Chain A
Amino acid sequence: MKKPFLHNVETDSICQPPSPSVIFVDRAFRMLARLGVILVFSLIVVLVLEIGIKALPSIQKSGLDVITGTVWDVGQQKFGILPAIWGTLYSSLIALFVGGFFGISMAIFLTQDFLHPRLAAIFRAIVELLAAIPSVVYGLWGIFVVIPAIRPLTDELNESLGWIPFFSSTLSGPGLLPAALVLAIMILPTIAAVSQDALRAVPLRTKQAAYGMGTTHWEAILKVMVPTAATGIFGSLVLGLGRALGETMALAMLIGNSNQISLSLFAPANTLAAMLALNFPEAGPSEIEVLMYAALVLMLITLVVNVLGSMIITYAQRGMK
C-alpha cells in the first residue's frame, strides 16, 4: 500500500499534533489578517475624520447654508453647493436610467439562451472591457464625438419642443445630456455584469418549471426570471449609481461647470466631484473648508448608496439559496 505523505513524517502515522512551526505560521497569518482588517477599517475612519475635521470650521460657520445655498462666489465668500448636489443627482439618475435600460437588456440577452454560451462569454468580456477605458478618454470622446453628434438633434428638440422644461435651452457644448450619456456608458459594465450574475443565479429548475407550465420564452423571462432576479438587478443599479455619483474626470470635462439649477437637459451644470477637482488647485483657506464640506457630502451620498447596494445584493443571494 502506498503512503504518499510518508516521507513527510517520522512515524508511520500521518496524524500528529501540530508542530511549533505550524502553530507559529498559523498565528502569524491570523495576526497579519487581523492587522489588514484593522488597517483597512481605520483607513476609512481616518479618511472620514480627516475630511470631517477640515470641514468642521465651515460646518460651524455656515451650517446647512452651504448645502442650501445656490451661489458660489469666492470674491464675496459665498459658497453654496446646492447646484452641484442637484447636478450630481440629476446627471447620475439620467445615466442610471439609460445605462440601466441597456445594461439589463444586455444581461437578459446574454443569459437567456439567445446566444451560444461561448459567444455570450465573448460579448460579456467585450462589455466588461468598457470598464477598463480610462475616464479621461471617455471625457475626450464625449467632447469630440458625443457633443457634435447630438447637437443637431438637441437643436431640433429645442426649436420644436422648447416649451417643455427639459428642452428649454440650446446645447452649446458641454452640458448635462452629453455628460449623462457618457456616464451611462461608463456604468454600463457594472450594471450588465452584476445583473448577469443575478440572472445566472436563478436555479435552472425555476425556468424549467415556468416552461412546464406552458409559458413562452418571453413570458418566462419577463414574468419569472427577471422578477426572481429582481433584487440582484436592483443591487446592480444601486452600484452603478454609486459609480456615477463619484465619477470625476469625464464629468469635469463634459458638464460645463456652471452653477445653476436647471431642469433643462441641454444646459451646462456642475457636479460635486467635478467641482472638487476643478476648485482645489486654486482654493484659498476658506474655500478649502467648504470644499471639504462638499467632499463630506459627496462621500455620504456615495457611501449610503453603496452600502444599500451591497446589502441588497447580499440579501438577494441569501434569498436565492
Chain B
Amino acid sequence: MKLQTGVRIGVSGVILAIALLVTSAIQAQNDINPPVLNGAGATFPAPLYKKWIAAYKEVDPGTTIKYAVVGSGEGIKRFLDDTVDFGASDVPLTDFQIASAPHGAITVLVTAGMVVLAYNLPGLNGVLKLNRDTYSALLRGEITRWNDARIQAINPRLNLPDREIRLVVRKDSSGTTFVLSSHLSAISPEWRDGPGIGKRVSWPENAMFAPGNEGVAALVQRSVGSIGYVEYSFAKLLDLKTAHLENKEGHFIAPDDHVGIATLTANIEQIPADMRIHIPDPAGTDTYPLISFTWLLLKKHYPDGVKGTSLKRFITWCLGEGQSLSSALGYIRLPDEIAKRSNKALATVQTTPAP
C-alpha cells in the first residue's frame, strides 16, 4: 500500500510538472510574440531563399520565416487563397490574378537565373554547342539520336555517341517550363504552333518526367544520354555539363555568373514599373538566351502590422546584403539599378491595418 501511494504521488508530480511547463511555454510565447512568416512557392529560388532565411536568422533572431517549396503554380494559388504571408513565383502574376488577390498584390523581383540545357554524355571530348534550330528541334523530339547530322554539323570535332536522346522534363506546373517554352515560342514557329507557351506543355512521348528542378537535375545525372532543362543553380550544384546555346546575335554562350549579370544589365530598360518583366529572347552580344526571373508575391496591405514590417525588413535585407550570397549558389546578383527598383516596389507595401 505504501508503495502505491508513493507511485501515486510520483505520477501526480510528473503531471503537475508537465502542466507547469506547458503554461510557462504559453506565457513565454505571449510575452515575446515573435512573428512567424509563412511563405510558399517556386522551387527554382528555394535554395537561395533557404540560405537567405538561415543567414537572416543572425541579423534578426526574433523573426521566424518558413518557406514551403511547392512550385510556382501552387505558390500563386496559396497566395491568392490567403493561406500564406507571402508567395513566390517564377511566373509574373496576371492582371486578373492581381485583381483577385484578397489584400492586393505587389510583386517584387528578388533574383534571377538562367535556364540551362544539362546533359549527361560521359566520355564526350568537349562541350556540346547547340544552335537555335537544333535545340528547338531536339526539345520537340525531332532529333532522336546524339550522332544526328544536325548536331554533328555544329560540333564537328565532338565524338558524339550513337545513343538515343532521352529528354528529361518537368512533370509539375513550373515557372522554368514557362521560361523555356516562351523562349522557344519566340525563336521557333514550329514550337509556337505546337506545344506553345505554358507552365505545362506537351512533350514527345518518350520524355521522362521528374518533379521539380532538383528532380530533373538528379534524373539527368543518373541517366546516360539524357538532356533536360533546369535552372543553372541546380546544374551547378550537381556539377552537370551544360550546353552552350546560340543567342540572338549568333554567338554560342556558356551559362555562368558574368554572363548572367551582363544579360540583365543589357536588358535593364525593358523592366516595367511593376517589375513584371519577361524577356523571351534577350538582346546583346554576350547575353544568354534563356533568362528567368523570380518574384516574391506580397500583399498590398498587411493587416497584421508586426508581420508586415518584419517581412519588409527581411526583403530589404535580401535585396541589399543578401544579394552577395546569390552567385555562389548559381543565381544572378541583381544589378544595383534593378535592386533599387525592387526596393521602390517594396516601399509601396502598407503595413498599417487597412481602414
Choose the segment among A25-33, A57-65, A69-77, A181-189 that binds chain B (4+ C-beta atoms closer than 8 Å): A69-77
Q: How far does the alpha carbon of A310 sit from the alpha carbon of B225 in the complex, in Å?
A: 44
> Is B173 part of the contact surface with A, judged by Cβ < 8 Å?
yes
Q: Is the CB of A172 within 8 A of B164?
A: yes
Query: Which of A76, A172, A278 interacts with B211 by CB under 8 Å?
Result: A278
In the assembled complex, which residues on chain A have CB atoms less than 8 Å from the CB atom of B173? Answer: 74, 282
Q: Are A282 and B172 in contact (CB under 8 A)?
A: yes
**Chain B hits for A256, CB < 8 A:** 208, 223
| A172-B166, A258-B208 known; A282-B226 Cβ under 8 A | no
Name the A residues within 8 Å of B209 (CB-CB).
Answer: 257-259, 278
A74 contacts B200, CB within 8 Å? yes
Interface membership of B74, Cβ < 8 A:
yes
Residue A267 at the chain B interface, CB threshold 8 Å: yes
Determine whether the beta carbon of B200 is less than 8 Å from that of A257.
Answer: no
- B interface residues, how many (CB within 8 angstroms): 26
B226 touches A170 (CB 8 A): no
* Contact of B163 with A by CB under 8 A: yes
The contact of A76 among B71, B172, B202, B207, by CB within 8 Å, is: B202
Known: A257-B208, A267-B206, A282-B211. A173 touches B200 (CB 8 A): no
B 196-227 contacts with A by CB, 8 A: 198, 200-202, 205-211, 219, 222-226
**Which listed residue, A83, A173, A281, A282, touches B223 by the CB 8 Å rule?**
A173
Q: In the bound complex, what is the Cα–Cα distance between A174 and B207 (angstroms)?
A: 12
Q: B205, A260: Cβ atoms under 8 Å? A: yes
CB-defined contacts of A282 to chain B, threshold 8 Å: 71, 73-74, 171-173, 211
A151 within 8 A of B: yes
Contact present for B166 and A268 (CB under 8 Å): yes
The verdict on A170 contacting B205 (CB below 8 Å), with A147-B222, A151-B224, A282-B71 known, is no
A206 on the B face (CB < 8 A): no
Q: Are B200 and A268 in contact (CB under 8 A)?
A: no
The reply to whether B219 and A173 contact each other, CB–CB distance below 8 Å, is: yes
Interface string of B65-91 (1 = CB under 8 A from A): 000000101100000000000000000
Q: Which residue on chain A has the smallest CB distance to residue B218?
A: A143
Tell me the complex Cα distance, A172–B163, Å: 9
List residues of chain A with CB within 8 A of the CB of B198. 75
Given A74-B200, A75-B200, A282-B74; A172-B210 close (CB under 8 Å):
no
Q: Which residues from A are CB-within-8-Å of B202?
A: 71, 73, 75-76
Question: Pick the contact of B201 from A75, A170, A258, A259 — CB < 8 Å?
Answer: A75
Bound CA span A258–B167, Å: 10
Instruction: Say if the beta carbon of A271 comes within 8 Å of chain B.
Output: no
Residue contact B205 to A71, C-beta cutoff 8 Å: yes
Is the pair B206, A174 in contact by a Cβ cutoff of 8 Å? no
- Chain A contact-residue range equals 20 to 34
Q: Evaluate whether A172 and B226 lie within 8 angstroms (CB atoms) in the complex, with A258-B206, A259-B205, A260-B206 already known.
A: yes
Which residues of B are found within 8 Å of A248, using beta-carbon distances?
A: none
Residues of B within 8 A of A278 (CB): 171, 209, 211
Q: Taking CB as reference atom, which chain B residue is nearest A147?
A: B222
A73 to B173, CA, bound (A): 12
Please determine whether B205 and A258 come into contact, CB atoms closer than 8 angstroms.
yes
Q: List chain B residues, Cβ under 8 A from A260.
A: 205-206
A169 at the interface (CB under 8 A from B): yes
Interface residues of B in 172-206 (CB under 8 A from A): 172-173, 198, 200-202, 205-206
A42 at the interface (CB under 8 A from B): no
| Chain B residues within 8 Å of A73, by CB | 202
On whether A279 and B225 interact (CB within 8 A), knowing A174-B219, A258-B205, the answer reads no
Q: List 22 A-B contacts (CB under 8 A).
A: A74-B173, A75-B201, A75-B202, A83-B205, A151-B224, A170-B224, A170-B225, A172-B166, A172-B224, A173-B226, A174-B208, A257-B171, A257-B209, A257-B210, A258-B206, A258-B209, A259-B209, A262-B206, A268-B206, A279-B171, A282-B172, A282-B173
5 A-B pairs with the lowest CB-CB distances in the bound complex, closest first: A173-B223, A172-B223, A172-B166, A75-B200, A257-B209
Interface residues of A (CB under 8 A from B): 70-71, 73-76, 83, 143, 147, 151, 169-174, 256-260, 262, 267-268, 278-279, 281-282
A71-B205, A282-B73 known; 17 new pairs, CB 8 Å cut-off, are A71-B202, A74-B200, A151-B224, A171-B224, A172-B163, A172-B224, A173-B166, A173-B222, A173-B224, A173-B226, A256-B223, A257-B208, A258-B209, A267-B206, A278-B171, A278-B209, A281-B211
What residues of chain B have their CB less than 8 Å away from a CB belonging to chain A?
Answer: 71, 73-74, 163-164, 166, 171-173, 198, 200-202, 205-211, 219, 222-226
